[in-house]
Structure 1
Amino acid sequence: MSVDTTRREFGTGPLARAAALIHTLLTAELLFLLCAAPGLTVLVLVGRDASNLPLAAACALPLGPAFSAVLGAVHHRGTDLADLRPARAFWRSYRQSLPGVLGVCLPPLAWCTVLALNIAHLGAAGLPGWWLVPLTLVLVTAAVWGVNALVIHALFAFRLRDVARLAGYYLTRTPSVSLGVACLLAVAVSLTARWSEAVPMLLVPVFALALLRISRPMIADLRKEFIA
């Protein structure tokens, strides 16, 4: 039997495909933890007091490039299961996204931090209780916009200002994506509140896979409307 025939026959069944996906997710998780280790260590150790939110945001900033690389590795995983190289895909995505991804992550992260501080100190600021609703809506919108921007930057080669505009545009262009991203963020926050920041960090590739599936309408529309 030739090598080509062996490669064609390898991985045609669902078990092999599932094993290949698990291999990709585990590899991406290990590399994510490696790249994000300094920030994650401090993030897990910092107290949950609202006054620590700026420090937590600073620790979370390096997670952006690492998560972008996970998105790239999961999205661009090869169809040839005999030639799986998720580590190479991760590092390629990491190198490509690193120069601009901090610019993508910093604005929404800063906005979310300011809004979260205002929500946490609503009474001290002398604001009425009903302000909690609009502030929370703006916080969720900023977070979804940031996630959209991260997905677009990870998968496409747009300029940063175009990434920001497209991320805002698709908030209403694909409402199902916005709702799905908001639900995914709610799950991550719930896991953090119920257990620890470490729990969602250990599920990063699963979140990345779910995010890519949720974002399919946005990704397809981007390719159709903006990719020549």
Structure 2
Amino acid sequence: MAAAAGAPREFGDGVLGRITARVYWYVVVGALVALGCVPTLVLLALLDRSTGNALLVPLCLVPAAPFLAAGLFALHARAGADEPVPGRTFVRGLRLSWLDALRLWVPATAVLGVVLTSVVHRETAGISVPYAVVLGLVGLGVLLWAVQALVLASLFSFRARDVARLSVYYLGRRPLVAVGLLALVVVAGGVVWVAGEPVLALVAAAWLAFLLRVAQPVLDDVRARFVA
């Protein structure tokens, strides 16, 4: 799509003006996403870091889902925006996608919680090592599915069950995209491991931008096949 017509008028017509407009958009969206992640950060901070809370840790991600979806919507809309209004675009994305984001992420995080609990309490539950590995792979698949579903739910007005089916379909149909999603999940986990959850929230806009880039082949195929 063409570059935003309002951005050059607001920030200037030159290269510096376009760069300033882009930085402004990312800074505002990043601040709003980080603000939306505050409830998740508070919940994680209140949890005792023990294996007994393994079920609750994934569920703490649920409040952040609508804001991540809104961030994806706002970043994706930047190129076609008539004016540099990232805040207004973010709010619109939140209004359009919050319910679908929750419908998808609540069951996904519940499954992740059960899987994580089973793995960390493997000996107590009498689960063998091979079965624990299988559970771990299932949990990873659910996590990748949840990320893919969040992208589709934030950008398309499909029913939640259709988004769920499409997410499963494209994980198998587009293996390179699945590998890219896995890489982003690993990066997010690395940031949390090294610097903590607040730092990941602060760089969430950049992470979402890479997520959009990785998912672009899927988005293009969905538009070509399912959007009139």
> Is the TM value for this pair above 0.5?
yes
Q: Is the 8 A contact 1:57 1:113 kept in 2?
A: yes
Q: Is the 8 A contact 2:59 2:106 kept in 1?
A: no
Range with greater deviation from structure 2 (37-46 or 138-147): 37-46
Partner of 1:68: 69
| Alpha-carbon distance, 1:112 to partner | 1.1
Q: 2: distance between equivalents of 1:113 and 1:143?
A: 11
| Alpha-carbon distance, 1:143 to partner | 0.5
Range with greater deviation from structure 2 (49-58 or 84-93): 49-58
| Alpha-carbon distance, 1:176 to partner | 0.8
- What TM-score does the superposition give when structure 1 sets the normalisation length? 0.89
Partner of 1:163: 163
Partner of 1:226: 226
Change (3 A) 1:50 1:147: same
Change (3 A) 1:113 1:32: same
Change (3 A) 1:157 1:58: same
Partner of 1:136: 136
Q: Is the 8 A contact 2:12 2:18 kept in 1?
A: no
| Alpha-carbon distance, 1:9 to partner | 9.6
1:95-135 deviation per Cα after TM superposition (whole angstroms, max 9, x unaligned): 11122221011121111111111111122222222233222
Q: Is the 8 A contact 2:59 2:113 kept in 1?
A: no
Partner of 2:98: 98
Q: 2: distance between equivalents of 1:35 and 1:183?
A: 24
Q: 2: distance between equivalents of 1:174 and 1:31?
A: 31
Q: 2: distance between equivalents of 1:217 and 1:61?
A: 27
Partner of 2:115: 115
User: In the alignment, does 2:217 pair up with 1:217?
Assistant: yes
Range with greater deviation from structure 2 (39-48 or 155-164): 39-48
Change (3 A) 1:17 1:123: farther
Secondary structure at 1:158 match in 2: coil
Unaligned stretches of 5+ residues in structure 2: 1-5
Q: Is the 8 A contact 1:44 1:197 kept in 2?
A: no
Q: 2: distance between equivalents of 1:125 and 1:11?
A: 64
State how many pairs are aligned: 222
Q: Is the 8 A contact 1:104 1:149 kept in 2?
A: yes
Q: Is the 8 A contact 1:44 1:198 kept in 2?
A: no
- What TM-score does the superposition give when structure 2 sets the normalisation length? 0.89
| Alpha-carbon distance, 1:17 to partner | 3.3
- AA matched with 1:155: L
| Alpha-carbon distance, 1:54 to partner | 3.0
Q: 2: distance between equivalents of 1:184 and 1:11?
A: 34
Root-mean-square deviation (CA, aligned residues, Å) is: 2.1
Range with greater deviation from structure 2 (122-131 or 100-109): 122-131
User: In the alignment, does 2:205 pair up with 1:193?
Assistant: no
Q: 1: distance between equivalents of 2:10 and 2:174?
A: 38
Q: 1: distance between equivalents of 2:81 and 2:30?
A: 21
Q: 1: distance between equivalents of 2:170 and 2:97?
A: 21
Change (3 A) 1:207 1:8: closer
Unaligned stretches of 5+ residues in structure 1: none
| Alpha-carbon distance, 1:58 to partner | 3.2
Change (3 A) 1:11 1:208: farther
Identical positions, percent: 33
- AA matched with 2:68: F
